[in-house]
Amino acid sequence: MPNKNHYTKLIKNEANRLGFGFCGISKAEFLADEAPKLAQWLKENKNGKMAYMENHFDKRLNPTLLVDDAKSVISLLYNYYTPIKQNDISAPKISKYAYGVDYHLVIKDKLKELFLFINEKIGEVGGRVFVDSAPILERAWAAKSGLGWIGKNGNLINKGNGSFYFLAELIIDLELDYDGPTTDHCGTCTACIDACPTEAIVSPKIVDGSKCISYFTIELKEAIPLEMKNKFNDWAFGCDVCQDVCPWNKFSKQHNEPLFNPKPELIYKTNNEWIEITEHIFNELFKNSPVKRTKYNGLKRNIDFIRN
C-alpha cells in the first residue's frame, strides 16, 4: 500500500498532539508467545478472585476476534506521573494514578478523537478503541510495538520515561508500517522484587495478582485475609512501591494533563480525616475518580484494615 508510511506518520503525529507520549504500531496477529504464559498464570490461580480474567481467553490473544479484519494494533502511552505526594506522611496512601479524574473517561475521549481523525483524513476505517476495558493484553502489545519492555515487576518500562503511564489501544482494519520490540534493560536489578511488601512478584516478570496490594484494596470484594495484616505499608487504594523503587522511574516527568491533577482536599487530608471519612465526603472527593470503584464501604474497609 503506497500510503502506508504517510498514514502511519499522520496517526503518530495526531496521537502526539492529543497528548499521548508514545505511539507504536504492531501487526494484528495472534500473540503466540503470550498464550502459554497466560494459560499457566491462570492455572496457578494467580488471578485470585478476578474471575473475569478467565473469560475470553482467545480474544485476549487474538485482536481479529475483537475487530473484524483487524490489520493493525496502535498502542499508546499517556503519562500520569507527578512528584506531588500526600502531605501527611502518616495518612493512608492513594496510588498516583488515582489522584485525578478517572483515566478511562479522559483517555477514551482522546482515543475517540484519534479514531475520528483517522476516518476524516484517511477514509472509512473500521475499528475499536480500548483503555483497560476489554480482554486485551495491553502490555504485550505495547512491548511488541517498541514502547518499552516488560519489567521484572510486570509493568511496561520505557527507557526514557519510566513506567507511570496508562496504556491504551486502537485496533483498526487498516494496514500500516509496523514497529518492532525494544530490548530489556532491567539487567540484574531486583529492586522491585525486594521491595514488594507482600512478596507478590514471585519471579521476574511474574506477579501473583492474588498477593498484590492493588488486588486486595481494589479488586477483592470480601474481607482482606488477616495474614496480610501490617504488610500494606499504609496503602489504602492501589500501591506504587514496585514503580517508586524502579531506577528507570528517575526519568519520569510531570504529566501535562490538568484532569489528572489531585484535588487539594486529597493531598492535604490528614490521617484522622481519612479515618473519619464519611460517605458524603467520599462521594464529593472521589466524584469521577478511579477510587469510586471501591465504593465507600470498600475504601473504609481498607482504611480500617491498615489502621486497626
pLDDT, tens only, 133-192: 889 999 999 999 999 999 999 999 999 999 999 999 999 999 999 999 999 999 999 999
Reference 220, options 231, 230, 209; nearest CA is 209
Please give the positions annotated as active site: 132
pLDDT at 271 over 80: yes
Is the pLDDT at 1 greater than 80, yes or no? no
* Chain CA centroid to CA 127, Å: 22
**Helix (H/G/I), strand (E/B), else coil: 170:** strand
State the Cα–Cα distance between residues 156 and 280, nearest whole angstrom.
37
**DSSP 8-state assignment for residue 59:** H
Tens of pLDDT, residues 54-64: 999 999 999 99
Percentage of residues in the chain having pLDDT higher than 90: 98
Select from 172, 191, 169 the least CA-distant residue to 249: 191
For residues 183 and 2, which has the higher predicted lDDT (pLDDT)?
183
Q: Which of 90, 73, 60, 85 is nearest to 24 (CA)?
A: 73
Q: What is the largest CA-CA distance in the chain?
A: 65
| DSSP result, 175-205 | ------------TT--HHHHH-TT--EEETT
pLDDT band at 304 (very low <50, low <70, confident <90, very high): very high
**How far is it, in rounded angstroms, from Cα 88 to Cα 92?**
9
pLDDT score for 163: 98
Question: Where do the domains of the chain lie?
Answer: 4-172, 196-239+263-307
Give the number of C-alpha atoms closer than 13 A to the C-alpha of residue 211, restricted to the C-beta side: 15
Torsion of CA 239, 244, 247, 252, to 10 degrees: 110
On the CB side of 195, CA atoms within 13 Å amount to 16
pLDDT at position 133, please? 80
The reported pTM is: 0.96
User: Cα separation of 60 and 39, whole Å?
Assistant: 11
The cell numbers describing 208, all together, are 501473583
Contact present, 105 and 262 (Cβ < 8 Å) = no
Helix count and strand count (H, E) for the chain: 12, 10
Q: If you average pLDDT over every residue of the chain, what do you get? A: 97
Assign 2 a pLDDT band (cuts: 50, 70, 90). Answer: low
Contact present, 190 and 153 (Cβ < 8 Å): no
CB 101 within 8 A of CB 260: yes
